[in-house]
Amino acid sequence: MSDYSKWLMYAGAAGAIGLSLAVGYWRGCMSLQPDIIVKSLVSLRKSHLHKDKVIKYIENNSFRLLQVQRKLIEVTMKHPSRIMLGSTDELQLLQNLVSLIKGRKTLDIGVFTGYSALAIALVLPEDGKVVACDVSEEFARIGKPFWKEAGVDHKIDLRIAPALETLQKLVDAGESGTFDFAFIDADKENYLKYYTLCMTLVRSGGIIAIDNVLLGDSVADPEIVHAKTLAIRELNQYVYADQRVNISMLNIADGVTLCFKK
């Protein structure tokens, strides 16, 4: 199969223009050369995008999905912007970390169809809360029935507004240092601002998880100078130098950095 065919397969679009219109976080990529976009998309290691035998083995021997999670994945995979769906191996790791620190109060920045909010809510105690931030009611509406079916809808506080505004309102309301966990998976150009606000909101001993830190491996390719890639490179360098956290950048899904606040 040619690279161009792979491009169409991953994007689910009729052509190059369709890709940039259909794929959520690749909007604005029209300024990139097609071969660079192809290389970045094909390198994504999200579990639901691959039929690789090793990925399949991991799925069969590690993933512990509830039926409601599987149903939400199936519905989301029919959506034109399905590439934005979080990877199960990554989210299961985050669930384990939230459980490990006995998290109760969490942030989900970038909801899409609600798969990550659902995953986090499932491991929270009954009085736990996910403040879920997104600008799209249309996308979030897809996940709401599944939140209810899973019995966790009361734990998810959906805020439809620019996430920077929501986070700043939480700071202004005196909630600094009261969150146990934050997951950043939204517009890449604002990642550093999200991280800065999360560092204010998350307590000492809490965790900030940052998705897409490899961005289809584009961060390691000096030929790629697109705004999204530059933003992630800047974020990665900033976090690496930030002595307020212990970090681990993991080569799973599209790359995730775990920041453990000291």
Spell out the domain ranges in the chain: 66-261
Token representation of residue 224: 């790629």
Within the chain, residue ranges assigned H as helices are 3-11, 16-22, 34-42, 53-62, 67-76, 88-100, 115-122, 137-149, 163-172, 191-201, 227-241
Tens of pLDDT along 201-240?
Answer: 999 999 999 999 999 999 999 999 999 999 999 999 999 9
At residue 102, the pLDDT reads: 98
The domain made up of 66-261 is a member of CATH 3.50.50.60: no
Beta bridge partners of residue 261, listed in sequence order: 245
At residue 32, the pLDDT reads: 43
Token representation of residue 58: 């991991």
At residue 18, the pLDDT reads: 37
Name which of 20, 256, 253, 24 is nearest 136 in CA terms. 24
10-residue block means of pLDDT along the chain (262 residues)? 38 37 37 40 49 81 94 92 89 98 98 97 98 96 97 98 99 99 98 99 99 95 95 99 98 96 98
At residue 254, the pLDDT reads: 93
At residue 129, the pLDDT reads: 99
Q: How many residues does the chain have?
A: 262
Beta bridge partners of residue 179, listed in sequence order: 202
At residue 37, the pLDDT reads: 39
Backbone angles phi, psi at 121, to 5 degrees: -60, -35
Q: How far is the first Cα of the chain from the last one, in angstroms, to the nearest whole number? A: 48
CA dist 258 and 207 (Å) reads 7
HEC sequence for 155-213: HEEEEECCHHHHHHHHHHCCCCCCEEEEEECCCHHHHHHHHHHHHHHEEEEEEEEEECC
At residue 6, the pLDDT reads: 38
